[in-house]
Structure 1
Amino acid sequence: MIKGIRPLLRGSTYSGMLFAYCGAVASLPLLPFALLPLLAWRSAPEALQTVLVLLVWAALIGVVGLARITRRALIASARRLLSVPLPDPVAARRPAHSGADGWRTPLWLLLHVVLGWTGALVSGVLLLSGLLLPGGWLGADVRLSLFGWSVRVEGGWQSWVVALGCLLLAAAVCAVVTNALRWLAPRLLGPSSAERLALAEERELQLAERNRLAHELHDSIGHTLTATTIQAAVAGEVLSADPVAARAALRSIEESARAALEDLDYVLGVLREEKAQTAPTRTLADLPELLDRLRHAGAEVEPELSGALAQVQGTLSRAAYRILQEGLTNALRHGAGGPIGVRVAAAEDGLELSVVNRTEAGAGPRPGAFPTSGHGLPGLAERVRLLQGEMDAGPDGPQLWRLAVRLPVRWSA
């Protein structure tokens, strides 16, 4: 029994009834327009006039439900007063009010108004009766009449019992109306098929962006840790013999760490859904700075740049920089010393990137190199695949390792 009356004691039950009342009140401004057809059909029977007014009124309510702002307002108010978890409408390729889903919001609005008026009338009569009936405790009889229906309640304690029953029934009506609206809300105000598709596409874009950020963070932090570890080792070795070279290595460590911190701050801001001020964009224009940091780390770099590299812009330029950064990081980790060849060639039909370094069979990572996680080449392969390019990585001769990437180019005007 306690479980049965528990909904009657919840504040959400009555906030839901308030939501139903709001739907009934909001439909009142349309009633005068529904009465206009009666001016041209005054001779119709009264019953037919009533049906006509109700039909026109319902049609006007349905038309209001077609407005996109109406759907947004209904979702926000239902989420607030009904405590129903409804997502915000999203922009879909096909509007939510077209096709098979176009009837959902008008139908909800009609049911909302009908339940609101029904609940308001029934609960209002019951509540009024519950408040007036105790007046018969002095012994006078009370007669209730509504729409031609009447009942006589004897005075005394019987009136108090009936009054309590009326108040409980009024609360039960509130619970029934609220639960009906809660049941209907996800089915009629929830995401339509077009909106679910848009939500899935939005989620897919978010996952793709997070994967891209993961690649960016892996490339940036991985390269920085490798380079700074080697630079620190070099600085320690030449600190006494060549202080100038040691200071240059320390400056390079500072610059590398600052660039990595910028990338880290940006990624963390996106993951926390904070609005980052500026996104760090490393492009092919930053390649000379990257090569200088490698030289400060003690690496011998032999770059070969050709073609109109300045015309390679946007996503392609950023991706090319990250690919070269990852390739150079792997050369530092696993190379066996000697020069590292870096080739960047921009042709009319594609952008060619390659990193070649010496290696030895059975040789481990270079001393002082940061340990690798083994995700570099798979990440590169995925990045190249997304850009519809080609990648080849493997031995190139007896003591060489070669990373070669070819990316399609769309030249800017």
Structure 2
Amino acid sequence: MARMLRPFTRAVTYTRWLHLFMAVVWPAMWWYIFDPVWAWFTAVVLLAVAGLVPAMRTVEGLQARLLLLGQRHDDGNADIVTAPSVTWGDRGRTTLWLETRLLVGCAVSFLTIHLPMLTDDLVRTARGGSPDPATFIQVPGHHWWYALLTPLPLIALAAVVVASGELITVIARRLLGPSPAERLAALEERTEQLLERTRIARELHDSIGHALTVAVVQAGAARAAKDSAFTERALDAIEETGRAALEDLERVLGILRESERPVSSRPTLTDADRLLESARASGAKVEAELTGPLDTVPGPVSREGYRILQESLTNVLRHAGAVPVRVRIEVTGGALGLEVRNPLTAEIPGPGRGSGLRGIRERAALLGGRARTGPDQGDWQVQVELPLR
């Protein structure tokens, strides 16, 4: 019983009822002024023309959201759109919606008026009176037991109110909902947002992770060395790496706060010396071989290459420590090749584990390149190839 009565405790049940009534107010006024057939014919034609106006989709969408869904504000729900019609398909669906709403509204309005009148007739005839001749169902005879039937029209009216509200809401979602093109555009926008959030997460992981790794390694080495000169160099390396990480963090937070505000450019492979010096200051013996004009590498490729190199050196410091590292960066043949190798002296996450290694492979894949990470001839190898176009 509580489940059956629940719809009548919701305000949206009555706003949907009102929504259907509003569709027939102006045709009903014409009914009493002009010929009924001419009035309804004119209403159908006018609605067909109105549906072709782009702004009508906005008006109907806002009204449907408020009265059918109970949404006072646009909360991102795309069940019913409020954008103007763009294509003829949108206009056609808007026209069909207006005509359908008029048809359903007429049926519901008729039953809303006449079902209570039928209840009144049942009461009258049960008391020996005469039924109203305007009622669409005439109650014959005079019987006392008609009083027992008086709740039935009201129960039917309640069912009509709930069922018609659900029906018109379903129709609105189909006819006023997003078109296939709008759904595709929304999906693309959502994908762009997810990709941007993933990119920002990678930026923070690579930059902050590298800075923390360098700081931990340098602090541990300074404590073990017990040499004031070495400690001074370690503090300088920690300060420089931390400052760079703070710059990256400020840039990323600027993107999050104001997506349209111009921010400082991200580091590229032309800044690779900073990473190499940071790794050397942490104790790693880095040998670097740079071939080709790095300044001609396209911005997206150069920026992602920098982050891949940063994550590779961070993994070396984190998992292998102060070991010899060979770095090769080559620009040739329309591709950027990047390789980082170090002795396999410690357990490093395999190809299926570790968010850093997964990030390297994802960065390469997004640019149409490929990345290989794993043991190779006694070394741990990160080998990446990125197309320049």
Q: Under a length normalisation based on structure 2, what TM-score does the superposition of the two structures give?
A: 0.71
Q: Tell me if structure 1 keeps the 8 A contact 2:80–2:173.
A: no
Distance 2:363 2:266 in 1: 16
Aligned equivalents of 1:395, 1:174: Cα separation in 2:
70
Gaps of 5+ in 1: 39-45, 367-371
Distance in structure 2 (CA, Å) of the matches to 1:221 and 1:199: 33
Pairwise CA distance, 1:318: 1.6
> Quick check: 1:7–1:175 contact (8 Å CA) kept in 2?
yes
Question: Cα distance, 1:324 vs. partner?
Answer: 0.9
Give 1:230 shift: 0.8
Q: 2:359 aligns with which of 363, 379, 384?
A: 379
CA contact (8 A) 1:217 1:263 kept: no
Maintained 8 Å contact 1:89/1:195: no
Tell me the residue number matched to 1:408.
387
- For 1:231, give the aligned amino acid: Q
Q: Matches of 1:239 and 1:249 in 2, distance apart?
A: 17
Report deviation, 1:315: 1.9
SS of the residue 2:23 aligns to = helix
Q: Helix, strand or coil: the match of 2:337?
A: strand
Instruction: Establish whether residue 350 from structure 1 lines up as the match of residue 335 from structure 2.
Output: yes
Paired position in structure 1 for 2:175: 188
Structure 1 residues 177 and 300: alpha-carbon distance in aligned structure 2, compared to 1, 3 A threshold: same
The one-letter code matched in structure 2 to 1:119 is V
Q: Does 1:312 align with 2:297?
A: yes
What residue is the counterpart of 2:19 in the other structure? 19
Aligned CA distance change for structure 1 residues 148 and 294 (closer, same or farther; 3 Å): closer
User: Is 1:53–2:59 an aligned residue pair?
Assistant: no
Matched, 1:289 2:274: yes
**Aligned partner letter, 2:346:** G
Aligned with residue 87 of structure 1, among 69, 78, 85: 78
CA apart distance, 1:79: 2.1
- Who is 2:346 aligned against? 364
Structure 1 length-normalised TM = 0.68
Quickly say closer, same or farther: Cα 1:3–1:365, change in 2 above 3 A.
Answer: closer
2:89 aligned with 1:105: no
2:161 alignment partner, one of 174, 181, 193: 174
Residues 253, 213 of structure 1: CA spacing in aligned structure 2 closer, same or farther, 3 A cutoff? closer
Residue of structure 2 equivalent to 1:42: none
1:41 aligned residue? none
Once the two structures are TM-superposed, the CA of residue 232 in structure 1 deviates from its matched residue by 1.5
Amino acid corresponding to residue 408 of structure 1 in structure 2 = P
Residue 388 of structure 1 deviates from its aligned partner by: 2.0
Instruction: Percent identity, please.
Output: 34
Asked if the contact 1:119/1:177 (under 8 Å) is kept, the reply is yes
Note the C-alpha offset of 1:251. Answer: 1.8
Residue 97 (structure 2) pairs with residue 117 (structure 1): no
Contact 2:329/2:339, CA 8 A, preserved across alignment = yes
CA distance in 1, matches of 2:165, 2:107: 12
Number of residue-to-residue matches in the alignment = 377
Q: Take 1:345 and 1:89, find their aligned partners in 2: how far apart are those partners? A: 53
Q: Which runs of 5+ in 2 are unaligned?
A: none
Determine if contact 1:75/1:86 at 8 Å carries over to the other structure: no
Summarize the Cα distance change of 1:377–1:179 in structure 2 as closer, same or farther, 3 Å threshold.
closer
1:146 and 2:134 matched: yes
The answer as to whether partners of 2:27 and 2:40 remain within 8 angstroms in 1 is no
Counterpart secondary structure, 1:115: helix
SS in 2 for 1:146: coil
Alpha-carbon distance between aligned partners in 1 of 2:331 and 2:108, rounded to the nearest angstrom? 73
1:254 aligns to 2:242 (yes or no): yes
Residues 148 and 329 (structure 1 numbering): CA distance in 2 closer, same or farther, change over 3 Å? Answer: closer
* Conserved? CA contact 2:114–2:136, under 8 Å: no
Aligned to 1:43: none
Maintained 8 Å contact 1:21/1:116: yes
Task: For residue 228 of structure 2, give the secondary structure of its aligned residue in structure 1.
Answer: coil
Partner Cα separation in structure 1 for residue 373 and residue 146 of structure 2: 92
The whole-number CA distance in structure 1 between the counterparts of 2:314 and 2:88 is: 53
Structure-2 separation of matches of 1:395 and 1:144: 93
Offset from partner CA, 1:265-319 (integer Å, 9 cap, x none): 579x59xxx9697598333344333333323322343444454433434321221
Distance 1:279 1:373, change over 3 A: farther
